[in-house]
Amino acid sequence: MKPAPFAYHRPGTVAEAVRLLAADPDAKVLAGGQSLVPLLSMRLATPSALVDLGGIPGLDAVRVDADGVRVGALARHARVLADDDAAACQPLLRLALGHVAHPTIRNRGTTVGSVVHADPAAEMPVVLRLLGGSVDVEGPAGRRTIGAADLFVGPLETSLHHDEVATSAFFPALPSGGGVAFEEIARRHGDYAMAGVAVVVRREGEQVVDVRAGFVSISDTPVVVDLTDAVARGADPGDAALASLEPTADVHATADYRAHLVRVLTRRVVGAALDDAASRSLTR
Amino acid sequence: MTTRLFGQRVPRVEDQRFLRGRGRYVDDVLVGPGTLHAAVLRSPHAHARILDIDVSEVLDLDGVHAVWTYDDLDGVMADPLPLLIPHPALTHGRTQFALARDEVNHVGEAIAFVVAEDRYVAEDAVDRIRVGYELLPPVVGIEAARAATHLVHDDVPGNVGARMEQHNGDAPAAIAAAPHTLSLDLTIERSSCQPMEGRGVVSRWDPDTSRLTVWTSTQTSTGVRGCVAARLGLDLAQVDVITPDVGGGFGVKINHPWPEELLVPMAARALGRPVKFTEDRREHFISSAHERGQVHHVEVGFDDDGRVLGLDVTFWHDHGAYTPYGLIVPIITATQLLGPYKPGAYRVRFESLFTNTVMVTPYRGAGRPQGCFVMERTIDAIAAELGLDRAAVRATNFIQPDEFPYDHGLVFQDGRELEYDSGDYPASLDKLKALIGWDDFPALKAQAAAEGRRIGIGLACYVEGTGVGPYEGAHVHVETSGKVKVAIGLTTQGQGHATVFAQIVADELGVPLEDVEVVSGDTRKMPYAVGTFASRAAVMSGSAVQLAARAVREKALRIAAEALEADVADLEIVDGLVQVRGTDAALALGTVAVLSNPLRYAFDEASKAATQFAVGDPGRPPVAEDDEPGLEARDFYSPQRATFASGMHAVIVETDPDTAEIRIVRYAVVHDCGRIINPMIVEGQIHGGVAQGVGGALYERMAYDDSGQLLNASFMDFLMPYVTEVPDTIEIDHLETPSPLNRLGIKGAGEAGVIPVSAAIAAAIEDAEGLVITAMPISPSELHALRQSKETP
């Protein structure tokens, strides 16, 4: 479990990082390293070079305003999790981050890194997709913003070009009347979930005008199912969600059990999110 | 007299080092600059013929020193590795070569051995070796092995390595005549030891003295020493094997020699440089050993009270690709399955089967968790069939306290009679029922049901033969400072040997605990030893330590009596002083040590007392004919047979009606390992055992696919329980039924905690769910499937 040889770069600016990536098609970006380093050690990834963002100043900021939370590329999960302003602005962040691995991993792993690693079993890509967030990237052609709907292409695959660096992710604020909930079921505390469900809802007065759910470990890319109509009809949200999902099997869960968990969790989490919205409007 | 330390909760003397990160494991051994590092090319295929191996690209690589394949092995190094425990029933035993000769039989089998400047380069070199394979059909799992459509070894018909039968009475006839009968099929899956420290070997050859030193993370340094000397063509006196701190063994390190334990010393000698091999986690999964995988069929006949009249068990043991450790695991299942019970008649038959998977050697419990699962599931099935209380059916079948010694009429794993020495199973059951609240549980369950919750209770009993022979020894030496040095030959991997053996010595010699230092696993200090396995260290080495310490005490009293002109009977040793009871006359034990060794030359102030003009009767030789200089003694303990510890576990679980998650609510243990040297250490062993048992019951499995690839060969997917998955509290009560077989009255405690966990948890889930559980481990996914199949049969 020793990595194959690779060159190591520690640029001082994003522009320099982009230049290094552009010059070497086999180079990879290193941020927190919590996914990449094990892959290197097991020689499942053998990049020619690592471009370590760790030396670039200013990338670790978490900025919160009325629109939402902007998380810098070097902000660790633990830092985002501890940010009370971020939690107040978009409470789903804290709910989901508490399920990201273990404290020691959250101390090193970065939220943006997790997003662009695009692991279907990871929480934060689903959160970004569900909230309709975006990622800012910088490449040789300059900066651009990729909406979450256009970001996730396949398992461990995004629409970022090889020579682009994700500099931040933006998570929109919870709108007025909104509510959120998150639950996942893992074999062991802190493991990747067998199934996880994140839900955002919005009420206008007594009326529920928006119910959407995102699913962890259920599909190759983060998928969002709109359950507004189903909830309005009084249909079971679990069955409604499952109608557009095809859970698969792995060594920890059969496809049938995953489907069952989707049904049970969606039911629970939609209910919890509606309650959350109700209690938030009461405290306002 | 100072307080007796035997039986006290003495804090472990090891923990200061371990908790501060100052343990010293094989990988920490510094054998000097210039140490080279080894890596192994392992088979990516479960079953293949090796057509050719091309290493031409390897030696070009900067930093590579040498590469070996089978063709480079000389003499006995080219022979198959030893079959450590032959048995007449093991008609088709097979062992691997240090490096595969012409066929690989599991993913992970060693093919080539590279030595380089560092492990990075060594792994780069391994990547460059090209092997041509002809793929052969793999045999994976017991079903495929039994079907024998394909063979693992061409010359082993039916994939059957061994067939064995034992019986006591005529079980089939007893079953046929019984008023009630049941048939059960019961399965336990594979798991493995997974010590935090994997295997590791460092070796240095000294060309000036022609001596080889080997540091290895083993459970038997003397065993490794014998193998290394034999395979490398060295005299035993040329080989020292040292086992430093070991980060867990749990059985996997009793198997020896591992290929690397021979290849590393071979390379060190050939290259004239120290060589190190440190196994990584993936290697541990695919190239060390697994255990537990067995399928069982039970026929049982019983009367209206649930008394077992006849028990007929047939099982199939998956021993993987090779059989270096013989039939120990299935023999233990076959015999220890009986637990605390006395069936009217018993027959057990097993087949030990080859598969193209990692080989099987004992893992903590060693066949007992399977046997216990089979017996306890059978008892639960009988209770369910008759509508009787599960605890009551157990009590009906217990061997009674006045029936010891109890001979089962079978042969145990040590080749001796399966004869229990002592025990009190009814008393254990009473304690357990009180501890868990057995009789109050139905009310709790009804209350939970009213709240929409499902809870269930289960219990399981076991008996464990511990402290098997052949022997262990100890050397106890009092220095002139009064400090006591103790050497035991077996190794230590975290059990607290340095504490408990010091307790025994401190009691015998009347010295403070902190003056006693215990070393273990170093063949330079104690070349005669067997190893640390089968819950034997306390029984075997503990007894030897006591015998040796007692001999030292006798010698000290004799010398002191002479010096103090007193009668031995009037002497006592208190706080390191030999004194005449009721007087001021006393000698420090260190001074007695001085007097024990007549000197020509004084080396310090104290030693002047032992020189020729200071002491001695000019009319007698300074050392008497039947005496030796020095205040020291060596002694050995070799019992006729094992001593049988026992225990019972009870567990309450809660299952989630929606998600099928399984949570342990309470866990209770009653444990009887005879006289307890240190209750804190015994309880620690139980805690660790239960944690491993929870892993085996709810989390761990070896997920082989049909092609023989292990799909979960990492800690990400092989689910050892975290602390969050183990009950916060394990409630423990002790019973102490002394063993009559050793002077200390002790029985082993190392493996006990793990044995009945799967059986107890299965019973509790069954109780919570109203579903029959016949296979463990069980996951939420599997429990969900069982619920589904019950709803739609």
Tokens (6 digits) for B504: 């025994």
pLDDT tens-place string over residues B657-703: 999 999 999 999 999 999 999 999 999 999 999 999 999 999 999 99
Number of Cβ pairs closer than 8 Å across A and B? 66
Q: Does B10 map to a domain?
A: no
Partners of B784 on chain A (C-beta within 8 Å) are 254, 256-257, 260
In chain B, count of helices (H) and strands (E)?
18, 29
Query: In terms of domains, do B480 and B611 share one?
Result: yes
Q: Does B504 map to a domain?
A: yes
**CB pair distance less than 8 Å for A2 and B661:** no
Query: In terms of domains, do B632 and B647 share one?
Result: no
CATH number at residue B706: 3.30.365.10
pLDDT tens-place string over residues B26-40: 999 988 789 999 999
**CB pair distance less than 8 Å for A185 and B280:** no
Structural domains in chain A plus CATH codes: 7-55 (3.30.43.10), 62-172 (3.30.465.10), 178-283 (3.30.390.50)
Compute the nearest-CA separation of B39 from chain A (Å). 10
Query: In terms of domains, do B657 and B774 share one?
Result: yes
**Which chain B residue has the Cα nearest residue A186?**
B661
Partners of B281 on chain A (C-beta within 8 Å) are 1
Q: Does B371 map to a domain?
A: yes
Q: Tell me the residues of B at the A interface, defined by beta carbons under 8 Å apart.
A: 119-120, 123-124, 127, 280-282, 658-661, 699, 703, 711-712, 714, 716-717, 719, 721-722, 724-725, 779-781, 784-785, 788
| Ranges of residues in chain A whose predicted pLDDT is under 50 | none
Q: Does B102 map to a domain?
A: yes
Query: In terms of domains, do B526 and B573 share one?
Result: yes
Q: Does B595 map to a domain?
A: yes
Compute the nearest-CA separation of B762 from chain A (Å). 18
**In the listed set B238, B269, B287, which residue is the last one of a domain according to the structure?**
B287
pTM: 0.96
**CB pair distance less than 8 Å for B124 and A261:** no
Nearest alpha-carbon partner for B313 in B234, B241, B391, B376? B376
Sequence letter at residue B203: S
Asked, as a colleague might, if the bond just before A11 is cis with ω within 30 of 0, I would say no
CB B299 within 8 A of CB B183: yes
Compute the nearest-CA separation of B5 from chain A (Å). 41
Pick B721's closest partner by Cβ from A1, A188, A254.
A188
Mutate to test the interface with A, among B781, B791, B792 (most CBs of A within 10 A): B781
Partners of B722 on chain A (C-beta within 8 Å) are 188-190
Compute the nearest-CA separation of B86 from chain A (Å). 36
pLDDT tens-place string over residues B72-122: 999 999 999 999 999 999 999 999 999 999 999 999 999 999 999 999 999
**CB pair distance less than 8 Å for A1 and B724:** no
* Separation of alpha carbons A246 and A243, rounded Å: 8
Compute the nearest-CA separation of B53 from chain A (Å). 22
Partners of A187 on chain B (C-beta within 8 Å) are 699, 719, 779-780
Sequence letter at residue B317: H
Query: In terms of domains, do B464 and B475 share one?
Result: no
pLDDT tens-place string over residues A57-110: 999 999 999 999 999 999 999 999 999 999 999 999 999 999 999 999 999 999
Q: Nearest-5° angle of CA A215, CA A218, CA A224?
A: 35
Q: Does B657 map to a domain?
A: yes
Reported ipTM exceeds the 0.90 cut: yes
**CB pair distance less than 8 Å for A187 and B711:** no
**In the listed set B587, B603, B637, which residue is the last one of a domain according to the structure?**
B637
With a CB cutoff of 8 Å and minimum separation 6, the contacts of A80 are A62, A69, A71, A86, A93, A97, A111
Q: Where are the alpha helices (DSSP H) in chain A?
A: 14-23, 36-41, 77-82, 84-89, 91-97, 103-108, 111-117, 123-131, 148-151, 228-233, 237-242, 255-283
**In the listed set B580, B611, B637, which residue is the last one of a domain according to the structure?**
B637
Query: Quick count: other Cβ atoms within 10 Å of Cβ B684?
Result: 17
Query: In terms of domains, do B566 and B715 share one?
Result: no
The dihedral sign for the CA sequence B131, B135, B140, B142: negative
* Separation of alpha carbons B773 and B755, rounded Å: 18
Q: In which band, very low, low, confident or very high, does the pLDDT at B616 lie, cut at 50, 70 and 90?
A: confident
Compute the nearest-CA separation of A181 from chain B (Å). 18
Q: In which band, very low, low, confident or very high, does the pLDDT at B793 lie, cut at 50, 70 and 90?
A: low
Pick B282's closest partner by Cβ from A1, A5, A256.
A1
For residue A194, CA distances in Å to A30, A130, A186, A255, B657 come to 27, 19, 5, 10, 17
CB B764 within 8 A of CB B668: no
Residue with tokens 């020495």: B421
pLDDT tens-place string over residues B30-73: 887 899 999 999 999 999 999 999 999 998 899 999 999 999 99
**CB pair distance less than 8 Å for A253 and B779:** yes
Query: In terms of domains, do B84 and B105 share one?
Result: yes
Query: In terms of domains, do B619 and B748 share one?
Result: no
Q: Tell me the residues of A at the B interface, defined by beta carbons under 8 Å apart.
A: 1-5, 42-43, 185, 187-192, 194, 251-254, 256-257, 260-261, 264-265
Asked, as a colleague might, if the bond just before B727 is cis with ω within 30 of 0, I would say no
Compute the nearest-CA separation of A254 from chain B (Å). 6
Asked, as a colleague might, if the bond just before B172 is cis with ω within 30 of 0, I would say no
pLDDT tens-place string over residues B414-437: 999 999 999 999 999 999 999 999
Burial class of residue A25 in the structure, from the number of CB atoms within 10 Å of its CB (0-12 exposed, 13-18 middle, 19+ buried)? exposed
Partners of B127 on chain A (C-beta within 8 Å) are 4, 43
Q: Does B158 map to a domain?
A: no
Compute the nearest-CA separation of B703 from chain A (Å). 7
Residue with tokens 């003009």: B613
B600 forms bridges with which residues in the sheet? none
Q: In which band, very low, low, confident or very high, does the pLDDT at B1 lie, cut at 50, 70 and 90?
A: very low
Pick B784's closest partner by Cβ from A188, A192, A257.
A257
CATH number at residue B91: 3.90.1170.50
**CB pair distance less than 8 Å for A189 and B281:** no
**Which chain B residue has the Cα nearest residue A2?**
B120
**CB pair distance less than 8 Å for B780 and A185:** yes
**CB pair distance less than 8 Å for A1 and B281:** yes
**CB pair distance less than 8 Å for A188 and B722:** yes
Query: In terms of domains, do B437 and B475 share one?
Result: no
Pick A185's closest partner by Cβ from B120, B659, B711.
B659
What range defines the domain where residue B99 resides? 31-136+199-246+253-287
Half-sphere exposure of residue B748: CA atoms within 13 angstroms, side-chain side: 26
**CB pair distance less than 8 Å for A257 and B281:** no
Query: In terms of domains, do B463 and B474 share one?
Result: no
* Separation of alpha carbons B105 and B135, rounded Å: 11
**CB pair distance less than 8 Å for A253 and B781:** yes
Q: What is the pLDDT at residue B397?
A: 98
Q: Does B317 map to a domain?
A: no
For residue A94, CA distances in Å to A79, A98, A162, B503 come to 10, 6, 30, 52
Angle between helices B368-386 and B328-336 (to 10 degrees): 30
Half-sphere exposure of residue A202: CA atoms within 13 angstroms, side-chain side: 10
Compute the nearest-CA separation of B343 from chain A (Å). 39
**CB pair distance less than 8 Å for B781 and A2:** no
Pick B711's closest partner by Cβ from A185, A189, A251.
A251
Q: What is the pLDDT at residue B2?
A: 54
**CB pair distance less than 8 Å for A4 and B712:** no
Query: In terms of domains, do B710 and B586 share one?
Result: no
Query: In terms of domains, do B541 and B597 share one?
Result: yes
* Separation of alpha carbons B302 and B393, rounded Å: 11
Nearest alpha-carbon partner for B748 in B461, B535, B598? B535
Alpha carbon B392 to its chain's center: 32
Partners of B778 on chain A (C-beta within 8 Å) are none
Q: What is the pLDDT at residue B31?
A: 86
Give how many domains chain B has, as a whole number.
3
B578 forms bridges with which residues in the sheet? B573, B587
Mutate to test the interface with B, among A8, A105, A185, A187 (most CBs of B within 10 A): A187
Partners of A3 on chain B (C-beta within 8 Å) are 120
Mean pLDDT for B243-267 is 97
> What order do you get walking across the sheet with A142-147 strand by strand?
A62-65, A68-72, A165-172, A134-139, A142-147
**Which chain A residue has the Cα nearest residue B278?**
A1
Q: Spell out where B136-199 has E strands.
A: 160-168, 180-188
Compute the nearest-CA separation of A5 from chain B (Å). 8
**CB pair distance less than 8 Å for A254 and B785:** yes
